[in-house]
Structures are given as structure tokens and as C-alpha cells.
Amino acid sequence: ETALLIIGNARIHSLGLRDVQQALERLRSLELLRNALLPVPGQVGFPELKTRATRNAVMNMQAALSDDPDGEAVDALRVTMYEGLFLPCFTHSDESAQAVINAAFKLHLPEAEVWSAAERVFESSVVQRQSELCTFIPEFCQSLSQPIPAWMLDRLRALYRLPENWDVASMAKSGARKLLAKTPVQDPRLLALFDNLLKTTAQPHIRTRDRRGSAPKAFAAVRAVQIMNATNWQTYLQRRDEIANECRTLNVGHDPLHWQQNWNGEVASMIIKDAMRAHVTEPLLSEANEMWLLHGTSPAAAEGITTEDFDMTRANPMGLFGGGVYFGESISKADEYVEGAVESGQELFPLLLCRVCLGNVYYCDSRTPDKDGLLDRCLRKQWHSVLGDRLKTSGTFREFIVYDNFQAFPAYIIYYTRQY
């Protein structure tokens, strides 16, 4: 560079040194880019000073690329970015990863090529960093209005153990720092199945002290929403697997005969079990006593529970069986706790259809249950849930209670009408 400055631009051309000058400019631009993007010891995030340096380096590199008839500059850029910068930037932080990807796009490196390089870096990252990148990359793609690369969708499905029929791409567009989608049920067969569930489990002749007003004679499903919540699904499966292992060790009964002989009959809401196999790709785990159960609530709570989770801080410690999450097998029982909202001139009520892992069930047929004792059994001893048999003691309904929100996954919101 010093020699070329001494020679001067006028003589560079006459001496045939233009190629040398371009090569030096290219090297200088690459060095500026490398220094701007490469994380330094003690760096937190991607500071403003490095942002300005990167902006200047990108402009210099763009100038070098504009006069690159043989493609030497872009080849050198690929090596610098993909082999020299992607790994340290992705390893350092989300901010550094974002800076290097933005620089690659501003320098017009092909999108597919950039994400292929990102995949290679992802594969070489430690598990914790991979988990962080599974959050960062979808958010980053959303900010650019770009589709999430197919390899990342596959990684997300594997990381969260998502069912095959869940649309990961739509889940990633939720706008929140989570994979979440709430999709209207379009299949008339599934809606008909839900409607049959309501009609079959209705018991209008039974009334408890929790019923406000007159009891509906029948119920009709109007619409439903499928819930695809990756975080909740992942934690649910982890807890279900733990419970299944414990049930195997304890040799816990789970077949229909065991339910009939020990727990006063099979679960009524499981009438949909066989038909649901056509609509869910992750079957119920019978050895963990995983069941389809019902939970009535308000429209706002239905939205909150399916977006976040069951909030155990809201569990009422004064409930008959203590502070847990309560489920029913009959719509008539679940309906005692719902609140309605008017839609298109009709009042609709929300019902959560949940997968609930009951595990080792503690059967309680006491008229005055020991709340603290039940809680202690399920949180500190070998039981996982309580079956409160008010059908036996009072002629009303059986209730199913878990004291760990990870044992329930709200899979659908069914909106229904009451018929008097």
C-alpha cells in the first residue's frame, strides 16, 4: 500500500499494477470487516461502536465487490464470513450472530448459502447454545419477514418433540418468545366428535352446590381451536415420561378392568380415545394413565392458560381436595365453572379438552378429604394425582386433581352453547 501511494494512481495503470491495487483494497476491506465483526474479550452483546465499524466495513466491502470481474472478492468474502466469522459470532451471542448475518445479507451473499453456513455452525455448537439459537433464529427471521430455514424447523420439531401434524412454521410466527399457534379446527369430523363428547357426558339431572342458576339439559359444540404450544408440550412430555417410569417401577394398574375394580369405573370422557387417534399423532400413554379430561373456565382464562399454562398460584387451597388443578369427565361438571361471551348473537362457553397424566392415582372416597394429606401424597410420596369420588359419596361427579401443572396439556378449546 505504501509503495502504491508513492507511485500514485496515474502511474499505477501505466505500470500494470491495477490488479495489485484491487487485491490490496480487497484485503483491506476484508480486514476491516473481520475486525468489526469479530467479538473481542470481555465484549457484551454487540456494542454501538462495533455497529458503526461494521457499517463502515460493509460499505468498503461493497465498493470492493462492485469492481470484481473475476469474482475473487466475493470468493474471499465467503471464506472470511463462513470460515472465519460465523462460528465465533454465533458462539458469542445472539447480537453478534445477528450482526454477522445482517452483514452477509447486505453484501448480497445468497440467502440459502448464508443459512447453510449457519446450519453448520449450529451443528457444531454445544447443546445449550443450540437451544438459545432455536429461539433467536426464528425471531430474527420474523424480524426480516423471511421464512425460517427448513433445517431450523426440523430442529425445533426435534427439540420440543412436536407432533408430526403441528405446523412449526405458523407456530414460529406468533410474535412472542415462544412457539405457539392457535388454529381453528376445520375438520367437521373432529368438531362432530367434540359435539358427541358433550352430548354423551351430559348429566343434567345431577346438580352440585357449585352450580349457579338452572342446569342445562344439553350442550352443542359450535367451534374449536387446536392449541400448539411448544414449551408447554415439551415440559408436559418430560413430566409424563418421568411419571411413566415411576408407574412401571410401582407396577401401577392402568387397564379398563383396573379402573372398574379399583376406581369406580372407566373415565367417561375417554369415549373419544379411539376416534382421536385419527387427529393426533402422539397417542395417549396408557401406562401413565394419560387421559382426555375436561376443564371449564372463562374466555380470558382459556386464552391465558393456552398461551402460558395452568397457574398454580391461582389454585384454591380451600378447594374440596386442596390447591390443585381440577378436571372432570362430564361436561355437566365442567360447565359449572364456565363463563360465556356473546359471539355473533349467541353466547358461547369455553371448555378446555386436556391431556392429563394421572399416573399413580390416589383414590379418595372420603366425604371430608384431608386436603393437606392429599397434597403431601402427590408432591412428596408415590402418588401423582387424586381421584375424588363424589359420585360414590354424594351421587354427583368424580373429579380428577393434579398438583403439578406440568401434568396437564390443554390441547383444544371447545366453544359450545347451552340448551335448556
Condensed to tens digits (0 to 9), the pLDDT of residues 88-100 reads 999 999 999 999 9
In angstroms, the first-to-last Cα distance of the chain is 91
Are β-strands 385-389 and 361-364 bridged in parallel, bridged antiparallel, or unpaired?
A: parallel
With residue 402 as reference, give the H or E element that holds it.
Answer: strand 398-402
Contact 113, 149 (CB under 8 A): no
Torsion of the alpha carbons at 52, 55, 59 and 64, rounded to the nearest 10: 100
The span from the CA of 28 to the CA of 35, in Å, is: 11
With a cut of 80, say whether residue 367 has pLDDT above it.
Answer: yes
> How far apart are alpha carbons 68 and 209 in whole angstroms?
82
- pLDDT on residue 66: 87
| Mean pLDDT in residue range 333-355 | 96
Q: How confident is the model at residue 178 (pLDDT cuts 50, 70, 90)?
A: confident
Q: Which of 198, 194, 350, 392 is nearest to 275 (CA)?
A: 194
Residue where the block lists cell 480487497? 26
Query: Is 197 in a helix, a strand, or coil?
Result: helix
**What confidence tens digit (pLDDT) does each residue in 10-60 have?**
555 555 545 655 666 778 899 999 999 999 999 999 999 999 999 999 999
pLDDT of residue 3: 53
One DSSP character per residue, 303-368 reads HHHHHS---GGGS-TTSTT-SSEEEESSHHHHGGG---EEETTEEEEEEEEEEEE--SEEEE--SS
Residue 257 has pLDDT above 60, yes or no: yes
**Which residue, 47, 138, 172, 61, is CA-closest to 106?**
61
Measured between alpha carbons, how far is 137 from 140 in angstroms, rounded to an integer?
5
DSSP state of 405: G
Name the one residue in this structure whose C-alpha cell is 369430523: 189
Q: What confidence score (pLDDT) does residue 6 get?
A: 55
Q: Is the pLDDT score of 69 beyond 90?
A: no
| Per-residue pLDDT, 18 | 55
Q: Kindly state the average pLDDT of the residues 124-139.
A: 93
pLDDT exceeds cutoff 80 at 407: yes
pLDDT greater than 50 at residue 161: yes
Strand (E) or helix (H) holding 221: strand 218-229
CA-based Rg of the chain, rounded to a whole angstrom?
30
Q: In the predicted model, what is the mean pLDDT of residues 294-302?
A: 97
When comparing pLDDT for 166 and 72, which is higher?
166
- Residue 214 CA neighbour count, 13 Å, CB half: 6
Cell of 317: 387451597
pLDDT bucket at 176, cuts 50 / 70 / 90: low
Q: pLDDT tens, 224-247?
A: 999 999 999 999 999 999 999 999
pLDDT, residue 23, reads 67
Per-residue model confidence (pLDDT) at position 71: 86
Residue 356 has pLDDT above 60, yes or no: yes
Using the predicted structure, report yes or no on whether residue 4 has a pLDDT greater than 50. Answer: no
Residue 316 has φ and ψ, to the nearest 5°, of -80, 110
Burial 249-267 (b: 16+ CB within 10 A, else e): eeebbbeeeebeeebeebb
Confidence (pLDDT) at 342: 96
Query: What pLDDT is stored for residue 14 in this prediction?
Result: 54
pLDDT at 20: 53
All cell numbers assigned to 272: 373419544
What is the helix, strand, coil percentage profile of the chain, to 5?
A: 55, 15, 30
Each residue of 266-275: pLDDT tens digit? 999 999 999 9
Tell the burial category of 119 from Cβ atoms under 10 Å away from its Cβ (0-12, 13-18, 19+): middle
Q: Which range has highest mean pLDDT (5-14, 63-72, 138-147, 375-384)? A: 375-384
| DSSP three-state, residue 218 | strand
323 alpha-carbon distance from chain centroid: 26
Model pLDDT, residue 251: 97
Instruction: Tell me the pLDDT tens digit for each residue of 368-395.
Output: 999 999 999 999 999 999 999 999 999 9
Say if residue 65's pLDDT is above 70. yes
